[in-house]
Structure 1
Amino acid sequence: MHGGQMLIEEPVRLASVMAPSKPGFFLTKIVGTLGPKSRSIEVIEGCLLAGMSVARFDFSWLSADYHQETLDNLKTAMKNVNKLCAVMLDTVGPELQVHNTTGNPIELKADAHVLLTADLSKIPSKEILPINFPDLAKVVKKGDTIFIGQYLFTGSETTSIWLEVLETVDQDVTCLVKNSATLVGFIFIVHLCQAKIELPTLTSYDKQVISTWGSLNSVDLISLSYTRGADDVKEGLENFDEILQEADGIIFSRGNLGIDLPPEKVFLFQKSAIRKCNIAGKPAIITRVVDSMIDNLRPTRAEATDVANAVLDGTDGILLGAETLRGLYPIESISTVGRICAEAESVSNQSIQFKVIVKNVEEPMSHDESVASSAVRAAIKVKAAVIIVLTSSGKGARLVAKYRPPVPVLAVVTSSQASTTALTGTARARQLLPVKGIFPVLGGSIRDGATSTNEEPSLKLAINFGTSAGIIKPYDRAVIFQKIGDSSIVKIIECNGS
Structure 2
Amino acid sequence: MALRKTKIVATLGPSSSEEGILERMIDAGVDVVRLNFSHGTAADHIARAELVRDICRRSGKPVGILCDLQGPKIRIGKFENDRILLKVGDPFILDAACKLGNQQRVGLDYKTLPSEVVPGAVLLLDDGRIVMHVDDVQNAEIFCTVTAGGMLSNNKGINRQGGGLSATALTLKDREDIRTAVALEADYIAVSFPRSGADIEIARQLVVDAGGHAAIVAKIERAEAIDALEEIIDASDVIMVARGDLGVEVGDAAVPGLQKRMIRMARLRNKLVITATQMLESMISNPIPTRAEVSDVANAVLDGTDAVMLSAETAAGHYPLESIQAMHRVCIEAEKEYDSQHLQQQINDEFGFIDEAIAMAAIHAAEHLNVKAIAALTKSGSSVTWLSRSNTNVPIYALTTERNTRRKLTLYRGVYPYHIEQPNDDLGHILYDAEETLLRLGAVQRDDLMMLTFGEPIGKAGGTNTLQIVKVGEHRREHR
TM-score range, shorter chain: 0.7 to 0.9
Aligned partner of 1:484 in structure 2 is 456
- Aligned to 1:368, which of 350, 355, 368? 355
Residues 162 and 250 in structure 2, CA contact (< 8 A), matched pair in contact too: no
Say whether residues 1:286 and 2:275 are aligned partners.
yes
* Counterpart selection for 2:342 from 353, 356, 360: 353
The structural deviation recorded for 1:169 is 4.2
Q: Where in structure 2 are the equivalents of 1:44-443 lying within 5 Å?
A: 44-98=22-76, 107-118=85-96, 121-122=99-100, 128-149=105-126, 153=127, 160-182=129-151, 188-193=156-161, 196-211=164-179, 213-226=180-193, 235-288=224-277, 289-350=279-340, 352-359=341-348, 361=349, 363=350, 366-414=353-401, 425-443=402-420
- Distance between the aligned counterparts of 2:150 and 2:445, measured in 1? 55
Q: Distance in 2 between matches of 1:224 and 1:201?
A: 7
Letter in 2 for 1:355: Q
SS at structure 1 position matched to 2:4: coil
Pair 1:293–1:174, CA change in 2 (3 A): farther
Mean Cα displacement is larger for which, 60-69 or 232-241? 232-241
Shift in CA distance, 310/195, structure 1 to aligned 2, threshold 3 Å: closer
Decide whether aligned partners of structure 1 residues 209 and 384 sit closer, same or farther in structure 2, where only a CA change above 3 A counts: same
Q: Structure 1 CA distance, aligned partners of 2:315 and 2:82?
A: 19
Write the deviation string for residues 130-177 of structure 1: whole angstroms up to 9, x where unpaired.
Answer: 43211122212333211122xxx4x6xxxx211222444443334333
Report the alpha carbon displacement of residue 473 of structure 1 after superposing the two structures with TM.
Answer: 5.5
Tell me the distance in 1 between the aligned counterparts of 2:267 and 2:81. 42
SS of 1:177's equivalent in the other structure is strand
Letter in structure 2 aligned against 1:394: G
Contact 1:94–1:228 at 8 Å: present in 2 too? no
Could you say if the C-alpha distance between residues 452 and 356 of structure 1 is closer, same or farther in structure 2, counting changes exceeding 3 Å? farther
TM-score relative to the length of structure 2: 0.83
8 A contact 2:69–2:189 mirrored in 1: yes
Q: Distance in 2 between matches of 1:232 and 1:338?
A: 26
User: 1:296, 1:329 within 8 Å by CA — same for their partners in 2?
Assistant: yes
Change over 3 Å in CA distance of 1:274–1:195 after alignment to 2 = closer
CA contact (8 A) 1:192 1:228 kept: no
SS at match of 1:340: helix
Instruction: Decide whether the 8 Å contact of 1:90 with 1:222 is kept in 2.
Output: yes
Same amino acid, percent of matched pairs: 26
RMSD: 3.1
1:53 positional shift:
1.0
For 1:197 and 1:274, how far apart are their aligned partners in 2? 25
Query: Do the aligned residues in 2 keep the contact of 1:446 with 1:453 (CA within 8 Å)?
Result: no
CA distance in 1, matches of 2:448, 2:267: 28
Compared CA separation, residues 479 and 162, structure 1 to 2 (3 A): same
Shift of 1:77: 2.8
Q: Is the 8 A contact 1:30 1:53 kept in 2?
A: yes
Q: Using a 3 Å threshold, how does the CA distance of structure 1 residues 461 and 142 change in structure 2: closer, same or farther?
A: same
Q: Is contact 1:191-1:228 (8 Å) kept?
A: no
Q: Measured at CA, do residues 125 and 310 of structure 1 come closer, stay the same or move farther in structure 2, by a change above 3 Å? A: farther
What is the alpha-carbon distance in structure 2 between the residues aligned to residue 453 and residue 187 of structure 1? 60
Instruction: Output one character per residue of 1:199-234: Cα deviation in whole Å (capped at 9) or x when no partner.
Output: 2222221111112x12211211111112679x9956
The alpha-carbon distance between structure 1 residues 107 and 321, as it changes in their structure 2 partners (threshold 3 A), is: farther
What letter matches 1:428 in structure 2?
A: T
- C-alpha separation in 2, matches of 1:235 and 1:113: 29
Q: Which amino acid aligns with 2:15?
A: K
Q: CA deviation at 1:292?
A: 2.1
Verify the 8 A CA contact 2:163 2:249 in the aligned structure 1: no
Partner SS, residue 412 of structure 1: strand
Q: How far apart in 2 are the matches of 1:170 and 1:195?
A: 22
Q: Is the 2:71–2:193 contact (alpha carbons within 8 Å) kept by the matching residues of 1?
A: yes
Q: Which residue of 2 aligns with 1:463?
A: 439
Q: Residues 147 and 235 (structure 1 numbering): CA distance in 2 closer, same or farther, change over 3 Å?
A: closer
RCO comparison, higher one (Cα < 8 Å, 6+): 1
Report deviation, 1:112.
3.3
How many Å separate the matches in 2 of 1:84 and 1:400? 19
**Using the alignment, how far apart are the partners of 2:97 and 2:53 within structure 1?**
40
Tell me the SS of whatever aligns to 1:93: coil
Letter in 2 for 1:426: R
SS in structure 2 of the partner of residue 27 of structure 1: coil
Residue-by-residue CA offset, 1:322-357 (whole Å, 9 max, x unaligned): 22222222222222112111111112112x121233
Corresponding residue SS for 1:178: strand
CA contact (8 A) 2:164 2:223 kept: no
CA distance in 2, matches of 1:309, 1:405: 19
Deviations 1:282-341 (A, max 9, x none): 111111222222222222222211211111111111122222222222222222112111
The aligned amino acid for 2:134 is V
Alignment partners' CA distance in 1, 2:41 and 2:141: 29
> Aligned partner of 1:255: which letter?
G
Following TM superposition, by how much is the alpha carbon of 1:125 offset from its aligned partner in structure 2, in angstroms? 6.2
Equivalent residue in structure 2 for 1:494, among 466, 469, 472 = 472
Stretch deviating more after TM superposition (292-301 or 199-208): 292-301
- Give me the whole-angstrom Cα distance separating, in 2, the residues matched to 1:100 and 1:130: 7
Any idea what the Cα deviations from partners look like across 1:249-298, whole Å, max 9, x if unmatched?
A: 11111112212224443222222221121122211111122222222222
Query: Is structure 2 residue 421 aligned with structure 1 residue 454?
Result: no
What CA distance in whole angstroms lies between the structure 2 residues aligned with 1:72 and 1:494? 39
User: Residue 39 of structure 1 corresponds to which residue in structure 2?
Assistant: 17
Is the 1:29–1:436 contact (alpha carbons within 8 Å) kept by the matching residues of 2? Answer: yes
Shift of 1:451: 5.5
Maintained 8 Å contact 2:169/2:195: no
Cα shift readout 1:91-119 (whole Å, capped 9, x = no counterpart) = 12234134669996664443334443435
1:43/1:202 CA distance change after superposition, 3 Å:
same
Count of matched residue pairs:
445
Give the Cα–Cα distance (whole angstroms) in 1 for the partners of residues 395 and 3 of structure 2: 9
How much has 1:240 moved relative to structure 2? 2.4
Cα 1:104/1:450, change in 2 over 3 Å: farther
Given that residues 162 and 249 in structure 2 are in contact (C-alpha distance below 8 angstroms), is that contact kept between their aligned partners in structure 1? no
